[in-house]
Amino acid sequence: MLYVVPTPVGNLEDITQRALRVLREADLILAEDTRTSSVLLKHYDIHTPLKSHHKFNEHETSDEMARRIAAGMQVALISDAGTPGISDPGFMLVRACVREGVEVQCLPGATAFVPALVDSGLPCDRFYFEGFLPQKKGRQTRLQYLSALDQTFIVYESPFRLVKTLEQLAAVCGEERRASVSREISKLHEETVRGTLAELIAHFTEKAPKGEIVICVSGRSASEVEKSASEHTDKY
């Protein structure tokens, strides 16, 4: 069995009793960074052996690990924070296990974008999760695609690139599009700032952000859709 186990994105108490039991009972824990995961395991007095499984080695190790699990090993996969596979290593191992006929169970638990979305005050009945945007090639194409969506969309970003990304979003979506920026989710200095893209740019230009960032942006309004359709018709 492969268990995919979410770990806290901030407060160490944000982990389920089932997750702790699985981590204790597993034969091996695969961790994105063993140093980071050791802090969590030490906090809960868990002594299961750790092995690195990250984006730099998962291409080479996933198939072999899947075969070991198929042979009878119980393995738990964790990332530094949140649910493995969501903007973190995990997909390749899950895919390899599926190919080997290995049962996979993903436990419910922490992930950064859900609390950020709910806390944003933007519609969350339908949403689009983008994760990290491409750094260079294809970035503008993705921004244009996101700007045309009619549901809230979610982007992960580094604090060092936040203002630049907000400016790029404003360029394609318009400065008055509603959005929110959540940082340090579930940590001591957790904060969500809401407003138009123009207001968020001004805020974070004046006050440099720290911590992991989740950006939520509202989808195109009905009036924006009608205006776009009208402009397209006028061209022809």
**Cα distance between residue 31 and residue 19, in whole Å:** 14
Last residue of a domain, one of 57, 78, 106: 106
126 and 184 in a common domain: yes
Neighbours of 25 (CB within 10 A): 12
206 and 123 in a common domain: yes
**Cα distance between residue 118 and residue 77, in whole Å:** 27
120 and 21 in a common domain: no
100 and 46 in a common domain: yes
The domain total for the chain is 2
234 domain-assigned: no
Q: State residue 12's pLDDT score.
A: 95
**Radius of gyration (C-alpha) of the chain in whole angstroms:** 20
Token couple for 215: 């950006």
123 and 194 in a common domain: yes
221 and 184 in a common domain: yes
Q: What is the DSSP letter of 212?
A: -
Helix axes 91-100, 58-70, angle to 10 degrees: 40
Neighbours of 24 (CB within 10 A): 15
199 and 138 in a common domain: yes
Last residue of a domain, one of 106, 141, 165: 106
117 and 72 in a common domain: no
169-to-30, 88, 111, 177, 196 alpha-carbon distances in Å? 36, 24, 24, 9, 11
70 and 14 in a common domain: yes
Give pLDDT < 50 ranges for the chain: 232
The CATH number of the domain where 171 resides is what?
3.30.950.10
194 domain-assigned: yes
Strands of 191-196's sheet, edge to edge?
127-132, 152-157, 213-217, 178-183, 191-196
Q: State residue 235's pLDDT score.
A: 60
Q: What is the pLDDT of residues 185-226, one digit of tens each?
A: 999 999 999 999 999 999 999 999 999 999 999 999 876 665
158 and 84 in a common domain: no
157 domain-assigned: yes
Q: Which helix (H) or strand (E) holds 23?
A: helix 17-25
Q: State residue 221's pLDDT score.
A: 83
231 domain-assigned: no
163 and 142 in a common domain: yes
75 and 117 in a common domain: no
What range does the domain containing 13 cover?
A: 2-106
pTM over 0.75: yes
Q: State residue 55's pLDDT score.
A: 87
